[in-house]
Structure 1
Amino acid sequence: MWIHKNKDEPIELYSELDEDRYETKKVEIFIDDTAGYAEEKQSNGETLLGKCPIPSLEDINSNPEFKAKSITKEEFFAIWNKYVPFQK
C-alpha cells in the first residue's frame, strides 16, 4: 500500500519477484480501481517493470508512506488475473 493523496499515482502495488528481487510482473491499482500492469512482453498504461531490485520489506516499511507485506503466489495471481486481460 502506498499512502498518499495523488490520484495520478497507484495506491496498491503488487510485484512478482525473481530470486534476485527483480520484478517479473507488476500490477498497480489506482484509487478509482483502474490498474496498470507490466511483464516482460507486455504492459498497460504507464506501468513498467523496475530496473533495480526491489528493496526488502523492512526497507520499504521504514518509509511511513508504505505498508508492504509478502503475499503468496496464489494471492498475486488472483490480483493479476483480475486486472490483466486473458492471454492465449
Structure 2
Amino acid sequence: MDTTAAARKTERIEVRATTDEAERIELAAQVQHLSVSAFVVQAATSAADQVIARTDITLMPADQFDELMASLDEPDDMPGLARAFDRRWRSQGA
C-alpha cells in the first residue's frame, strides 16, 4: 500500500448512493473543504484501516484479561502426566 502524498492515483472506484446520501456526502465534503472524491476516499480508507486493525487485535474486558493472565501463572493439575512420570521414575530403579 502506497500512502505517500506523492502517490499517483490510478484506481477508480464507483459507488451508487441515494439522493439523500449523496447530498450528505457533498455537504460533509464542503464542510471539510475537500472534493467529494477526496472526502469519500478519506472516509473509506479510515473505515478500512479500522476494520483491518480489528483483525489483528483481540479485545476483552479487563477482568476477563486478568483472569486469563492469572490462569497462566497457575499450573493445571495433570494427574495422567504425574502417574506417567512416577511409573517412569520407579521403573528406572530410583
TM-score band (shorter)?
Answer: under 0.3
Greater Rg, structure 1 or structure 2? 2
Highest relative contact order (Cα 8 Å, sep 6+), 1 or 2? Answer: 1
Report the TM-score, using the length of structure 1 for normalisation. 0.21
Report the TM-score, using the length of structure 2 for normalisation. 0.20
Q: Which has the higher helix share?
A: 2
